[in-house]
């Protein structure tokens, strides 16, 4: 698929590195001795960071969401899947909620909505995959995935996409499951997986010493944007995920050079239980 | 062969009564666990790609049963498609939802908990619990309880759905039943050949 094809466009050593070439790939390393939240995102607004919300759509002009740069919908007709610009907004309320949370944390980030809901249950996993492929092709910095699939026949493709995104510097942030089932993509090491904690502080983040769930963020009784310009209260890992997406947008807006691997390290080092909050 | 049919038939006997009883018990227990005003099970009709209210306890129970809507719309559709459980309060703020609820049942819930009914990689439907009392703030322990109960309900429903399908196949209309009857009446030689073919088919399907 095209996503995998444009992974490396620059001339860099791919499979081996000659002894003389070490200097030519010197990477910036201006990390302080102690990574603090002030260093990580102090003064950041999310400006310049492109965030994609893969969900049920986002209501246009919701006061808690503000400007949505672009809205597309993924639809399925027979075997054909299309991605097209869309003005129908949100079919459920959930996507608007996620977008509002991201906006509340990173007020100046750029938001794009990709609707992967509404094409019927039967084609839902294929539509989700097509939406994710599109998002990776577009080169978003962050993709918020407050969703999962249990369909095993799509696991390999999802895994390929998660790895492709990782190497293209698109960070996938995915909701973990708090039910005893095998679901994806949150279990993959290449994504940032998120569960909920009970603190009302949107910046309290816990690093989990026992993955696969890697981080816990605010997911209980969260005031969220909903369809019809409404504001309601909700609970679920779905709402913890955009908190981490928002914090990642802040970090990336201040440190554009970070790879997903480095971003995850910063998240870890600034987690509340690792000494973050300082 | 007759023995086999009898054994399978006995195993699935009462599947239909058990099925309805289990659905009723599921919504009643869900309602009791959370001291809620109502609870419902919506099952996925894969052929029609719709969610159907199959059991309802409490408010709205008469008018909701049998109602259908497209499988990937609304909160239940979102839960079905994304496999993620959700709890939402202040639903009355959602005018689109409130209007639809009022038109279909006359009852507009304030809060909603919804969990997907999952078995292996399949999703059977959605369990909803409406209007739990607001005395205690909602906790993640309740969310986990909802998930655990949803899991148990899904496993039980799946078992009974399989039994129902087995019974339908044995009830004479199905191809399997016709095949079994022909095999039973065939000569010994043909029976042996038929069973040989069945074993080959089984290998093919493995």
Minimum-distance CB partner of A147 among B84, B93, B96:
B84
The structure tokens listed for A136 are: 């990776």
Asked if the B34-160 domain carries CATH number 3.40.50.1110, the reply is: no
Continuous segment of H or E residues that includes residue B168: helix B140-170
From chain B residues 53-112, the ones with a CB under 8 A of any chain A CB are 70-75, 77-78, 80-91, 93-97
Digit-coded pLDDT (tens) for B14-72: 677 788 899 999 999 999 999 999 999 999 999 999 999 999 999 877 788 888 988 88
Digit-coded pLDDT (tens) for B98-157: 777 767 777 788 889 999 999 988 999 999 999 988 777 788 999 899 999 999 999 999
A128, A130, A233: best to mutate for the B interface, most B CBs within 10 A: A233
User: What are the boundaries of each domain within chain B?
Assistant: 34-160, 172-205
pLDDT at B173 over 80: no
- Of B12, B5, B7, B47, give the one whose Cα is nearest residue B162: B12
| Residues in chain A closer than 8 A to B98 (CB atoms) | none
- Of A146, A138, A143, A172, give the one whose Cα is nearest residue A260: A172
- Of A86, A89, A90, give the one whose Cα is nearest residue A75: A86
Calculate what percentage of chain A has a pLDDT beyond 70: 94
pLDDT at A248 over 90: yes
What is this model's ipTM?
Answer: 0.85
Closest chain A residue by Cα to residue B91 = A232
Query: What pLDDT score was predicted for residue B29?
Result: 96
Distance from CA of B103 to the nearest CA of A (A): 18
Contact between chains at A121 and B46 (C-beta distance less than 8 A): yes
pLDDT at B12 over 70: no
Cα–Cα distance, A269 to A37 (Å, whole number):
9
Cα–Cα distance, A252 to A142 (Å, whole number):
9
**Domains in chain A, ordered, with CATH?**
44-269 (3.40.50.200)
Contact between chains at B121 and A227 (C-beta distance less than 8 A): no
């Amino acid at each position: 698929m095209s996503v995998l094809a444009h992974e490396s466009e620059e001339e860099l050593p791919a499979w081996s590195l000659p002894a003389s070439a070490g200097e030519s790939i010197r990477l910036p390393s201006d990390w302080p001795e102690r990574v603090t939240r002030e260093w990580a995102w102090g003064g950041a607004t999310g400006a310049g960071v492109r965030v994609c919300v893969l969900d049920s759509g986002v209501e246009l002009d919701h006061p808690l969401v503000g400007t949505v740069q672009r809205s597309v919908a993924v639809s399925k007709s027979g075997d054909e899947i299309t991605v097209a610009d869309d003005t129908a907004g949100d079919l459920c309320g959930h996507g608007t909620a996620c977008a509002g949370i991201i906006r509340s944390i990173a007020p100046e980030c750029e938001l794009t909505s990709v609707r992967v809901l509404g094409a019927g249950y039967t084609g839902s996993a294929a539509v989700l995959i097509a939406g994710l492929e599109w998002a990776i092709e577009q080169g978003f910095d962050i993709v918020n995935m407050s969703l999962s699939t249990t369909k095993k026949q799509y696991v390999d493709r999802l895994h390929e996409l998660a790895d492709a995104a990782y190497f293209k510097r698109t960070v996938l942030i995915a909701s973990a499951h708090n039910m005893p089932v095998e679901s994806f993509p949150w279990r993959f090491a290449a994504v940032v997986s998120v569960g909920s904690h009970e603190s009302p502080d949107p910046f309290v983040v816990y690093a989990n010493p026992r993955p696969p769930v890697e981080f816990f963020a605010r997911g209980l009784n969260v005031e969220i944007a909903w369809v019809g310009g409404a504001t309601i209260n909700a609970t679920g890992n779905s709402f913890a995920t955009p908190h981490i997406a928002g914090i990642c947008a802040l970090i990336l807006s201040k440190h554009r050079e970070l790879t997903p691997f480095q971003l995850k390290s910063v998240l870890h080092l600034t987690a509340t239980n690792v000494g973050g909050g300082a | 062969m007759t023995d086999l049919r009898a054994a399978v038939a006995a195993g699935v006997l009462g599947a239909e009564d058990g099925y309805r009883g289990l659905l009723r018990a599921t919504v009643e227990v869900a309602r009791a666990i959370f001291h809620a005003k109502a609870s419902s099970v919506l099952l996925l009709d894969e052929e029609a790609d719709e969610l159907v209210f199959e059991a309802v306890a409490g408010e709205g129970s008469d008018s909701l049963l049998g109602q259908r809507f497209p499988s990937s719309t609304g909160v239940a559709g979102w839960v079905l498609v994304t496999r993620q459980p959700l709890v939402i309060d202040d639903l009355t703020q959602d005018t689109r939802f409130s209007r639809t609820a009022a038109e279909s049942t006359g009852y507009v819930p304030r809060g909603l908990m919804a969990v997907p009914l999952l078995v292996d990689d399949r999703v059977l439907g959605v369990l909803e619990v409406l209007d739990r009392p607001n005395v205690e703030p909602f906790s993640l322990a309740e969310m986990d309880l909802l998930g655990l109960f949803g899991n148990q309900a899904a496993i039980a429903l799946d078992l009974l759905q399989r039994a129902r399908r087995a019974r339908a196949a044995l009830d004479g209309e199905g191809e399997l039943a016709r095949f079994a009857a022909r095999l039973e009446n065939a000569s010994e030689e043909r029976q042996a050949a038929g069973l040989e073919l069945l074993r080959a088919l089984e290998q093919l399907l493995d």
